[in-house]
């Protein structure tokens, strides 16, 4: 019976010791994360707009988008999206550096991509300038730069004449083949 009491006592001491170690671990975590607890850290991550974007929704964002001044291409999987500039009237495309690319759900509830664009400064300005873009599935673009917020709409580019003619020829050829009973696997 004496041994049992000792074992119980050891278990109690072990539990208290484990709780003390857990609290110390929490304190270490909090000091490493600016005083925030692990729970607060998780809540902050959830509130970051970092909601899973579905495959079908993401496909509405992927592709070419443009306005009268520039064009971008959004590609890659939603878990690791990529953005590149295809053309720009004001800056050399090679000077436009895209970073921090992330697929997310926009405040409108639509799938979107957000990214930071860095570029050389204009004379008299900081060494480099940057802007944060958000583009959603409808082409709505919100740009935050220099303390200003600009919102407009990007569009899908129309196929060039040569591409339209090629597609038309392919469709006419396929229709004619079906009409006479030929089989073409295009």
The confidence score (pLDDT) of residue 147 equals 87
pLDDT digits (tens, 9 = 90+) for 25-47: 444 444 444 444 444 434 433 44
Per-residue pLDDT band for 123 (boundaries 50, 70, 90) equals confident
- HEC string for the chain: CHHHHHHHHHHHHHHHHHHHHHHHHHHHHHHHCCCCCHHHHHHHHHCCCCCCCCHHHHHHHCEEEECCCEEEEEECCCCCCEEEEEEECCCCHHHCEEEEEEEEECCCCCEEEEEEEEEECCCCCCCEEEEEEEEECCCEEEEEECCEEEEEECECCCCCHHHHHHHHHHHHHHHHHHHHCCCCCC
The segment with the largest mean pLDDT, out of 40-44, 48-52, 129-133, 179-183, is 129-133
Model pTM above 0.75: no
């Amino acid at each position: 019976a004496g041994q049992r009491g000792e074992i119980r006592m050891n278990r109690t001491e072990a539990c208290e010791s484990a709780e003390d170690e857990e609290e110390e671990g929490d304190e270490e975590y909090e000091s490493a994360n600016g005083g925030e607890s692990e729970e607060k850290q998780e809540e902050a991550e959830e509130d970051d707009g970092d909601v899973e974007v579905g495959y079908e929704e993401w496909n509405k964002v992927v592709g070419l988008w443009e306005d009268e001044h520039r064009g971008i291409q959004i590609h890659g999987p939603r878990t690791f999206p990529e953005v590149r500039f295809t053309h720009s009237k004001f800056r050399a495309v090679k000077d436009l550096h895209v970073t921090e690319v992330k697929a997310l759900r926009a405040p409108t509830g639509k799938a979107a991509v957000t990214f930071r664009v860095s570029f050389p400064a204009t004379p008299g300005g900081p060494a480099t300038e940057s802007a944060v873009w958000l583009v959603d599935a409808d082409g709505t673009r919100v740009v935050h730069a220099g303390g200003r917020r600009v919102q407009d709409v990007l569009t899908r580019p129309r196929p060039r004449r040569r591409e339209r003619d090629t597609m038309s020829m392919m469709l006419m050829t396929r229709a004619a083949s079906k009409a006479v009973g030929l089989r073409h696997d295009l």
